[in-house]
């Protein structure tokens, strides 16, 4: 265990480092300027119109304080609109713009290419297994991070959310 390359934490950092670099490269080559974090947020906003920032953070496992800056940049790029809610004035509701939708549609091939590239050293079976193991480890460690994944907190309680 004395070698750093035997430590899962170090491997996690390296893999993430490569994943981000691949994503940025593919996306830039496609003519877009969007980070992995911004992409995930934009996808979630499109799928959940009028979502508030705290719920969004839970959906994609971001820290609440990080989401502020991410949304700031999406708003600045004209991909998202942030407006106050009339029901609860603490809340900022998020909406994707037409330009945001267009960006998502155009960027999809590059994003999918990136996912393939970062696994290019593995066979299809190995890639599936890696993702299965990552999902399993993440599920077991979800509550250990400050920004755990939270199922959508709509009016009706989600059934597949682990008991808290």
Query: From CA 155, how far away is CA 87, in angstroms rounded?
Result: 14
Q: Residue 99 or 126: which CB sits closer to a copy of itself?
A: 126
Query: Could you tell me whether strands 92-96 and 80-84 are parallel, antiparallel, or unpaired per DSSP bridges?
Result: antiparallel
**Residues 52 and 94 sit within 8 Å (Cβ to Cβ):** yes
3-state secondary structure of 121: coil
Q: How far is the CB of 125 from DNA (least distance, A)?
A: 28
Which of DNA, a copy of itself, none binds 159 (CB below 5-8 Å, type-dependent)?
A: none
Which of DNA, a copy of itself, none binds 46 (CB below 5-8 Å, type-dependent)?
A: none
**Residue 159 binding a copy of itself, by CB under 8 A:** no
Q: Residue 108 or 154: which CB sits closer to DNA?
A: 154
Per CB under 8 A, the segment of 36-44, 74-82, 92-100, 154-162 that binds a copy of itself is 36-44
**Residue 29 binding a copy of itself, by CB under 8 A:** no
Query: Could you tell me whether strands 51-52 and 80-84 are parallel, antiparallel, or unpaired per DSSP bridges?
Result: unpaired
What is the gyration radius of the CA atoms in the chain, in angstroms? 18
Query: From CA 103, how far away is CA 32, in angstroms rounded?
Result: 8
Query: Does an H or E element contain 160, and which?
Result: none
Q: How many residues bind a copy of itself (CB under 8 A)?
A: 59
| Residues in contact with a copy of itself by the rule CB under 8 A | 1, 4-23, 25, 36-37, 40, 43-44, 60-61, 111-112, 114-115, 117-122, 126-127, 129-131, 133-142, 144-147, 149
């Amino acid at each position: 265990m004395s070698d750093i390359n035997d430590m899962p934490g170090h491997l996690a950092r390296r893999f993430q480092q490569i994943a981000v670099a691949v994503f940025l490269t593919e996306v830039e080559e496609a003519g877009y300027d969007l980070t992995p974090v911004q992409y995930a947020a934009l996808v979630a906003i499109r799928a959940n119109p009028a979502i508030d920032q705290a719920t969004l953070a839970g959906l994609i496992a971001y820290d609440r304080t990080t989401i502020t800056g991410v949304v700031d940049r999406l708003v600045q790029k004209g991909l998202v609109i942030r407006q106050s809610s009339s029901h609860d004035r603490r809340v900022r509701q998020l909406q994707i713009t037409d330009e945001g939708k267009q960006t998502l549609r155009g960027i999809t091939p590059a994003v999918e290419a990136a996912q393939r590239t970062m696994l290019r050293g593995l066979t299809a079976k190995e890639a599936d297994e890696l993702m299965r193991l990552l999902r399993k480890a993440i599920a077991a460690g979800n509550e250990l991070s400050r920004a755990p994944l939270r199922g959508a907190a709509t009016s009706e309680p989600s059934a597949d959310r682990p008991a808290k």
